[in-house]
């Protein structure tokens, strides 16, 4: 990707989102910055509690940021009025994790898609609307006659297609896909991955792809942001990240993810203990309590995200640790 010279479509600056009492907040997202270039698919990975869903929602102002900025084409979304925000929402859409919970069970598919069109004043008139709905259904691999059905008449994979169609109905530029595959069976996941790839290429979509499935992220994303306890640990182009993770947490995460091949014996970097509470995160580096390479200095100050060259960044003060052997060197030739 040589997109670094372009103006980013989305820029996240020092984003913070705290929940709960001000005295003892849950630091769900703590000073996160990254940008997404037009046409780029950025992966956001991390374990539960890392803040990845909160970031996705804060980006679209489904929840408000505690502090920090989200810029869309240079415009601060946090400062946008509600009517301006409504207009912007046709450019910024979301695909949700659970295709069972995110579609209104009392609405027909026609009305689910039609509502999106109506709110944004698109495809006015019954005829134009029906035509557009049929187009959208075909776009996501469903049939026009499915418009008169209710969500419960569809399988999980088909429902996720409806969720994708609803997001695309308003012709967005940017989509936040929040774990869009995790409620689906493996054989159906591949169908939805292909659909997302195809639509992204055809409609030149920019995407923030939130997932805990590293294999899918490696397949689908151009760059990856690795989160831990609400903070960015590492940012890197996908191929480089998977071939040579620089941050000890990324190394452990990749090593812990079992490859579907009994012949690949991955280097085990067993992490001790649990993820600490975001109410009372460790001082300095939040990962130090589980890090096999932690030293005294790690507790002293919060490590800055440092530029390591070649589009890579890491928040770790140690440059003297050996990089983990990739799980499968033979597969990383690309």
Contact residues for another protein (CB under 8 A)? 47-48, 155, 157-158, 185-191, 193-194, 197-198, 212, 214-216, 218-220, 252-253, 255-264, 268, 270-271, 273-275, 290, 330-331, 333-334
CB of 17 to another protein, least distance (A): 20
- Give the pair of three-digit tokens for residue 215: 């294999």
Residue 29 CB burial class (10 angstroms; 0-12, 13-18, ≥19): buried
* In contact, 55 and 136? CB cutoff 8 Å: no
DSSP 276: P
CB of 45 to another protein, least distance (A): 10
- CB closer to another protein, 169 vs 221: 221
* In contact, 6 and 38? CB cutoff 8 Å: yes
CB of 61 to another protein, least distance (A): 28
- CB closer to another protein, 8 vs 157: 157
CB of 197 to another protein, least distance (A): 7
Q: What are phi and psi of 226, to 5 degrees?
A: -100, 125
CB of 18 to another protein, least distance (A): 21
- CB closer to another protein, 169 vs 224: 224
- ∠ CA 167-180-39, nearest 5°, is 60
- CB closer to another protein, 189 vs 206: 189
Question: Could you give the CA distance from residue 162 to residue 147 in angstroms, rounded to a whole number?
Answer: 10
| H-state helical runs in the chain | 52-59, 82-89, 109-119, 126-139, 156-168, 186-203, 214-220, 238-243, 248-256, 297-300
* In contact, 77 and 57? CB cutoff 8 Å: no
- CB closer to another protein, 121 vs 329: 329
Question: Could you give the CA distance from residue 42 to residue 222 in angstroms, rounded to a whole number?
Answer: 6
- CB closer to another protein, 12 vs 252: 252
CB of 250 to another protein, least distance (A): 11
CB of 332 to another protein, least distance (A): 9
User: Beta strand pairing status for 174-178 and 206-211?
Assistant: parallel
CB of 284 to another protein, least distance (A): 20
- CB closer to another protein, 82 vs 187: 187
DSSP 20: S
- CB closer to another protein, 60 vs 227: 227
CA-closest candidate to residue 159, choices 97, 106, 215: 97
Residues 6+ apart with CB under 8 A from 124: none
- CB closer to another protein, 181 vs 246: 181
CB of 334 to another protein, least distance (A): 4
Question: Could you give the CA distance from residue 192 to residue 163 in angstroms, rounded to a whole number?
Answer: 11
């Amino acid at each position: 990707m040589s997109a670094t010279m372009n103006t980013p479509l989305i820029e996240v600056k020092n984003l913070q989102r705290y929940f709960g009492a001000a005295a003892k907040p849950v630091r769900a997202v703590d000073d996160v910055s990254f940008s997404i270039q037009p046409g780029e698919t950025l992966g956001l990975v991390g374990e539960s509690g890392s803040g990845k869903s909160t970031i996705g929602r804060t980006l679209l102002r489904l929840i408000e940021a505690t502090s920090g900025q989200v810029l869309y084409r240079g415009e601060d979304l946090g400062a946008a009025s509600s009517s301006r925000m409504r207009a912007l929402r046709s450019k910024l859409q979301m695909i949700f994790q659970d295709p069972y919970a995110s579609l209104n069970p009392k609405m027909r598919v026609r009305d689910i898609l039609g509502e999106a069109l109506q709110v944004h004043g698109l495809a006015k008139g019954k005829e134009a609307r029906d035509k557009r709905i049929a187009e959208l259904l075909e776009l996501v691999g469903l049939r026009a006659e499915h418009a008169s059905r209710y969500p419960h008449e569809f399988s999980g994979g088909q429902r996720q297609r409806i969720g994708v169609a609803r997001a695309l109905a308003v012709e967005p530029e940017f989509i936040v896909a929040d774990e869009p595959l995790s409620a689906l069976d493996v054989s159906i996941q591949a169908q939805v991955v292909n659909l997302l790839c195809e639509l992204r290429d055809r409609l030149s979509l920019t995407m923030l792809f939130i997932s805990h499935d590293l294999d899918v992220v490696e397949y689908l994303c151009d760059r990856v942001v690795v989160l831990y306890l609400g903070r960015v640990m590492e940012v890197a182009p996908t191929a480089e990240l998977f071939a040579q993770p620089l941050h000890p947490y990324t190394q452990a995460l990749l090593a812990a993810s079992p490859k579907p091949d009994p012949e690949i014996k991955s280097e085990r970097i067993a992490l001790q203990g649990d993820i600490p509470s975001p109410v009372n995160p460790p001082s300095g580096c939040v990962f130090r309590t589980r890090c096999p390479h932690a030293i005294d200095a790690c507790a002293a100050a919060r490590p800055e995200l440092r530029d390591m060259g070649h589009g890579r960044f890491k928040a770790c003060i140690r440059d003297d640790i050996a990089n983990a052997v990739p799980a499968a060197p033979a597969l990383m030739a690309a």
